[in-house]
Amino acid sequence: MQEYINKIICGNCAEVMAKMPDNCVDLVVTSPPYADNRKNTYGGVSPDRYVEWFLPVSGEILRILKNTGTFILNIKEKVVGGERSCYVLELILEMRKQGWLWTEEFIWHKKNCFPGKWSNRFRDSWERCLQFNKNKSFAMYQDAVKVPIGSWAKSRLKNLSDTDLIRDETKNNSGFGKKVANWLNKETVYPTNVLYLPTECSNKNHSAAFPEELPSWFIKLFTRENETVLDPFVGSGTSAVAAKKLGRNYIGVDIIREYCDLSESNLKKSEHEREQCHQYGLTTQEAN
């Protein structure tokens, strides 16, 4: 097992995982290639074969995950022929037959989604983050993701655009005012199952980079320091970088050599930034 810790491994993730022992990983967080996308990079899994393609992967994850571990799957179905594809729904049902518990569906509500205009559809600004478990009693450290109420209110007010103001006029004033009053007494609150994050804008040289905050949030929620986080479709390495920054062990797998190299490079870059922070006497926490 030790040979996988804090490594990026190039290979087919189902085959790589097959060599790993049972019950050895605390969290799997990944964003696999979506159906029929990225034809030039991952080979383009078609929607009607997606489930059969993914099940061997989820089967290996089920085996190597600890009994108290969690599997977070970030995914969204494409539009095909004017209709939402059903492969994600079918995948959930099949994974349950495989032995998984479908514990929860978190929503990533994207602040800045892709632009576009169509006659029969609005812009898609959300994705699914499906939570699967082996067992009803799994590890969850809710206090690690509590939101300081002060900064919440501050950023909320700072970002209050004209849009927000006008949208807010419609709501019931008395009820909301009462709620705010309640919140003022607390220093931190628990979040909900909706994550409201911007998409990553900077160039990652990878076609599907999710924001670091997304894996980071789940890593804090479902693991403690020195535990192990696996991403079988590590891509540009975002989740590995997040795990490392948070003092967790990472294991990254990708079938594309180029992406493995990119992950290594991003890991080095983040390590370099950490060192610079130490030079200036900052903690990495403050720097982020």
Residue selected from 3, 157, 171, 226 as contacting a copy of itself according to rule CB under 8 A = 171
Q: Does 201 bind DNA (CB under 7 A)?
A: yes
What's the rounded Cα separation, in Å, for the pair 80 and 255?
26
Report the nearest approach of a copy of itself to the CB of residue 256 (Å).
Answer: 26
Q: Does 141 bind a copy of itself (CB under 8 A)?
A: no
What's the rounded Cα separation, in Å, for the pair 13 and 253?
6
Residue 186 interface partner, choices DNA, a copy of itself, none, CB cut-off 5-8 Å depending on type: DNA
**Conformation bin of residue 167: beta by default, left when phi > 0, alpha when psi is -120 to 50:** alpha
Residue 22 interface partner, choices DNA, a copy of itself, none, CB cut-off 5-8 Å depending on type: none
User: What are the Cα distances from residue 254, in Å, to 55, 147, 233?
Assistant: 17, 33, 5
Half-sphere exposure of 8 (CA within 13 A, CB side): 26
Report the nearest approach of DNA to the CB of residue 116 (Å).
Answer: 3
Measured from the CB atom, the residue of 197 and 256 that comes closer to a copy of itself is: 197
Measured from the CB atom, the residue of 155 and 283 that comes closer to DNA is: 155
Report the nearest approach of a copy of itself to the CB of residue 18 (Å).
Answer: 27
Bridge partners (DSSP) listed for residue 74? 129
Q: Does 181 bind DNA (CB under 7 A)?
A: no
Strand order from edge to edge, sheet including 25-30? 7-10, 249-254, 228-231, 25-30, 65-75, 126-133, 101-110, 194-197
Residues in contact with 114: Cβ distance below 8 Å, sequence separation at least 6, in sequence order: 123, 124
Site for DNA in 126-165 (CB under 7 A): 127, 149-150, 152-153, 155-156, 158-159, 161-164
Residue 155 interface partner, choices DNA, a copy of itself, none, CB cut-off 5-8 Å depending on type: DNA
Q: How many CB atoms lie within 10 A of CB 65?
A: 25
What's the rounded Cα separation, in Å, for the pair 135 and 158?
41
Cα radius of gyration (the chain) = 20
Site for a copy of itself in 80-139 (CB under 8 A): 81-84, 86, 89-90, 92-93, 96, 101-105, 107, 109, 111-113, 117, 119-126, 136-138
Query: How large is the angle between the packed helices 257-279 and 238-245, nearest 10 degrees?
Result: 30
What's the rounded Cα separation, in Å, for the pair 42 and 254?
10
Residue 193 interface partner, choices DNA, a copy of itself, none, CB cut-off 5-8 Å depending on type: a copy of itself
Q: Does 181 bind a copy of itself (CB under 8 A)?
A: no
Interacting stretch for a copy of itself, rule CB under 8 A, among 18-26, 33-41, 148-156, 244-252? 148-156
Asked if residues 66 and 22 have their Cβ atoms less than 8 Å apart, the reply is: no
Site for DNA in 94-123 (CB under 7 A): 111-121, 123
What's the rounded Cα separation, in Å, for the pair 193 and 175?
22
Measured from the CB atom, the residue of 118 and 285 that comes closer to DNA is: 118
Q: Could you list the residues that contact a copy of itself (CB under 8 A)?
A: 81-84, 86, 89-90, 92-93, 96, 101-105, 107, 109, 111-113, 117, 119-126, 136-138, 140, 142, 147-152, 161-163, 166-167, 170-172, 174-176, 179, 190-194, 196-198, 200-202, 213, 288
